[in-house]
Structure 1
Amino acid sequence: MNYVFLFLIMLPCKLLRKLRHPKKKRNLVIQTAKIGDFINITPLLTHLKHSDALLSRAVAPLARNDDTLDDIFYIEDHKTSTLAKLKLAFRLMNRYENVYLLHPNSVNLFYAACCNAGNKQFLSMYRRRWYQEIFYLTASGVVEHEKSTLTLENYLKLADRSLTKASYPKHATQPLVKPADTPEELFCTDKIKIGISISAGNQAKTIPPAIWKSLFDRLSELPCLFYVFGSPNELNYLNELNKVVGERDNLVNLIGKVSLEGLPYAISLMDFYVASDSGNVYIADSQNVPVILIYGPCCVEEQRPLGDVLLMGPDHIAPTSFVFHALYKFNHPAEQLFALDQRKLDDIYDFICTRKPQFIPKEKILP
């Protein structure tokens, strides 16, 4: 509700400045969620060719290496005070002709509504609040998003209702950043290289160590190298994993060793990527790396990798976590949500062998 009051305060200024709004063919894209969500807006960015953006600072290393983006504003820099919020609203007000709102929470709706753009396209979703109606009254068009519709496709439809998920590929950095300090162990060529994320930003989506052990054991007859990607604060997850799986020569620790801007290139060197619904699987998907998504409680109809992907979900458990309604606690234990029974383990094994037949062990020839 506070942003409604701020909008009412800004309304006289907005109406006065609208009389002097220059017709600038500039685009503003508003999406302040994290890494996976940023990857999923890149087809829209490609379609628009050049845009400014209001983003989360969490994606700054990717965004500043994206040649489709010009000026970037970070939401965290403008939430320190009411004055800071009003300053940004005033700065954005007469700057754009096209505004695309992809993440319609109250703060983003406020900034989008303050803009005097001739074309303002807003996403509307299942958590829309009654008091947000005043913001939607300023929109030129609205795309209705539901839990059963794909976010990436609806993002594209904001710009052109005829666009689909197949219209443009995703990217992470554009062009791809290739850091000189990329770890040497990533360039191995005589093993099946499998990147993994052993935790997620939402800890409730973290795959338990016992599940990883079952996967490692099933793939033990293949020459696999498992690369553990993550930020420095995830080392405790690796310690817990090592307690269950033991010290393994084929488990390569890359936690804290790859920068975010260098992560897409590092992941592009993988043969496969395995994780729960986290940012890294969307980076892998953007680099055309086959993904094994153990998605647990998440709704894959709404958001998922779109390339070569094997989806592994829980048996007889309906999804309870959604893009715009993420839960941080679930009714079922993680061991059940992410469980891999023998059939699923065999499916993963076959998925890998089909794509890397040269690494399949030769059967013993009986006399």
Structure 2
Amino acid sequence: MTALSTSGSAAPRTLVISPNWIGDAVMAQPLLRLLKQQHPERPIDVLAPGWVAPVLRAMPEVDTVLSTPFRHGALQLRERWRFARDLKQRGYANAYVLPNTLKFALIPWFAGIRNRIGYKGESRYGLINVMHHDDPQHPRAMVPFYAALAGAPSAVAPADLPRPALRVSTPQILPVLDKLNLQPGQPLLAFSPGAEFGNAKRWPTSHFAQLANTILADNPEMQIVLLGSGKDHAVCEEVRALAPAARNLAGQTSLDEAVALIAQASAMVSNDSGLLHIASALNRPVIAIYGPTDPDHAPPFSDIARSLSLRIACSPCKQRECPLGHHDCMQKLDSGKVWAELQPMLHFR
């Protein structure tokens, strides 16, 4: 956890309260770039849960990452007030509250930050005093949704928005490869078979395994790694059981290490997940697989990227489990279709 202290600089600072999801935090990065362009003299601090911090540390616009000391989902009013009193000493001119909850809007209000910018959320009038609105019938894609906060509430986000961009250096990558006994001279392919949202967002493990075996038959030197959190270990183990040459690293790497592996990858195949958006922000070639979620809402931005969706009549249903029980939006997207899109990418690097 980053200790709070009084800023040693006379320049006012900007506070951004990050989304709690890794993918959303990545897609908020263009907002940080716009804020830095508007006030290059202002350091940007980002308040975020610990599991998001490694992504924020890869953003060049971020000066300091402050870890949220609160329990997930808990209001903890007294703790938030005390934390905000410490924040006040850092001298913030503005606060951008990206989560739409009341409890995060309380922090800059408690801290006495004059300009508190965010979207209309749960009972936040007064706490947010520069209020933006989004049309629930026609919601914006995530990048322009966050980026619009850099302008006036009545304005729209610029048409030529910067895309999310993370930076990882070679000295950060090589120790991770060495630790995991991966060869820097051999091609590396990353799969992300998990999805925090629920089973409906997961391409079948048998399809991932078929794809891995097809790739290895054509490219026997390929190193295939399965990435995810500890919650994804069992799903990745199902893939490894059917494709034994794939390495199941889910839950065995920190997020910093996973970011380094993705930065080294020749390409990534992923469900709609946080790791997908990390790969996109690192400008890796990406195959993004969508079923119950809308591929236009949070697409990848890599120079080389393909969003695959069958767009069947019942999707996007946006449900955690298939309400019809057949999961056709994922089951019928077979590995051959994905391989046809991925194969040209593997010759890119």
Please say whether Structure 1 and Structure 2 have the same fold, judged by a TM-score greater than 0.5.
yes
- The one-letter amino acid paired with 2:184 is F
Stretches of structure 2 that go unaligned for 5 or more consecutive residues are 1-9, 37-42
**2:124 paired residue among 126, 129, 132:** 132
In the TM superposition, what whole-angstrom CA distance separates every residue of 1:113-141 from its partner, at most 9, and x where no partner exists? 445444332124xxx44x333434x22x4
More off after superposition, 281-290 vs 199-208: 199-208
Distance (whole Å) between structure 2 residues aligned to residue 215 and residue 334 of structure 1: 21
Distance (whole Å) between structure 1 residues aligned to residue 70 and residue 159 of structure 2: 32
1:329 CA drift (Å): 3.4
**1:171 paired residue among 145, 153, 165:** 165
Does structure 2 retain, via aligned residues, the 8 Å contact 1:173–1:264?
Answer: no
Answer yes or no: is 1:57 the counterpart of 2:60. no
**1:108 paired residue among 81, 85, 104:** 104
User: Match of 1:70?
Assistant: 63
User: Match of 1:265?
Assistant: 260
User: Match of 1:282?
Assistant: 277
More off after superposition, 82-91 vs 160-169: 160-169
1:174 CA drift (Å): 6.1
Q: Match of 1:77, SS? A: coil
1:274 CA drift (Å): 0.9
Does structure 2 retain, via aligned residues, the 8 Å contact 1:291–1:310?
Answer: yes
1:103 CA drift (Å): 1.5
Distance (whole Å) between structure 2 residues aligned to residue 174 and residue 354 of structure 1: 25
User: Match of 1:19?
Assistant: none
**2:289 paired residue among 277, 287, 294:** 294
Distance (whole Å) between structure 1 residues aligned to residue 88 and residue 282 of structure 2: 36
Answer yes or no: is 1:120 the counterpart of 2:116. yes
**2:144 paired residue among 144, 148, 153:** 153
1:29 CA drift (Å): 0.6
Distance (whole Å) between structure 2 residues aligned to residue 341 and residue 355 of structure 1: 19
User: Match of 1:16?
Assistant: none
Distance (whole Å) between structure 1 residues aligned to residue 298 and residue 326 of structure 2: 20
Distance (whole Å) between structure 1 residues aligned to residue 159 and residue 266 of structure 2: 24
**TM-score normalised according to structure 2 size:** 0.77
**TM-score normalised according to structure 1 size:** 0.74
Does structure 2 retain, via aligned residues, the 8 Å contact 1:211–1:340?
Answer: no
Does structure 2 retain, via aligned residues, the 8 Å contact 1:145–1:151?
Answer: no
**1:187 paired residue among 165, 177, 184:** 184
1:100 CA drift (Å): 1.4
1:84 CA drift (Å): 0.7
Q: Match of 1:200, SS? A: coil
User: Match of 2:328?
Assistant: 336
Distance (whole Å) between structure 2 residues aligned to residue 275 and residue 211 of structure 1: 12
User: Match of 1:348?
Assistant: 338
Distance (whole Å) between structure 1 residues aligned to residue 31 and residue 53 of structure 2: 18
1:51 CA drift (Å): 0.7
Q: Match of 1:180, SS? A: helix
1:81 CA drift (Å): 3.6
Give the RMSD, CA atoms, in angstroms.
Answer: 3.2
Distance (whole Å) between structure 1 residues aligned to residue 280 and residue 159 of structure 2: 13
- The one-letter amino acid paired with 2:329 is L
1:351 CA drift (Å): 2.1
1:152 CA drift (Å): 1.2
Q: Match of 2:54, SS? A: helix
Q: Match of 2:314, SS? A: coil
Does structure 1 retain, via aligned residues, the 8 Å contact 2:31–2:147?
Answer: yes
Distance (whole Å) between structure 2 residues aligned to residue 175 and residue 236 of structure 1: 31
- The one-letter amino acid paired with 2:266 is D
- The one-letter amino acid paired with 2:164 is K
**2:314 paired residue among 313, 317, 331:** 317
1:236 CA drift (Å): 2.2
- The one-letter amino acid paired with 1:309 is A
In the TM superposition, what whole-angstrom CA distance separates every residue of 1:201-257 from its partner, at most 9, and x where no partner exists? 2332333222324434655652154221123453322333344x2x533x1333344
Distance (whole Å) between structure 2 residues aligned to residue 350 and residue 202 of structure 1: 27
Decide whether aligned partners of structure 1 residues 228 and 281 sit closer, same or farther in structure 2, where only a CA change above 3 A counts: same
Q: Match of 1:261, SS? A: helix
Stretches of structure 1 that go unaligned for 5 or more consecutive residues are 1-22, 322-326, 360-367
User: Match of 2:207?
Assistant: 211
More off after superposition, 333-342 vs 42-51: 333-342
- The one-letter amino acid paired with 2:203 is I
Decide whether aligned partners of structure 1 residues 178 and 356 sit closer, same or farther in structure 2, where only a CA change above 3 A counts: closer
Distance (whole Å) between structure 2 residues aligned to residue 145 and residue 88 of structure 1: 33
User: Match of 1:27?
Assistant: 14
Does structure 2 retain, via aligned residues, the 8 Å contact 1:211–1:335?
Answer: no
User: Match of 2:298?
Assistant: 303
1:313 CA drift (Å): 2.1
Q: Match of 1:352, SS? A: helix
Identity %: 18
Q: Match of 1:122, SS? A: strand
User: Match of 1:20?
Assistant: none
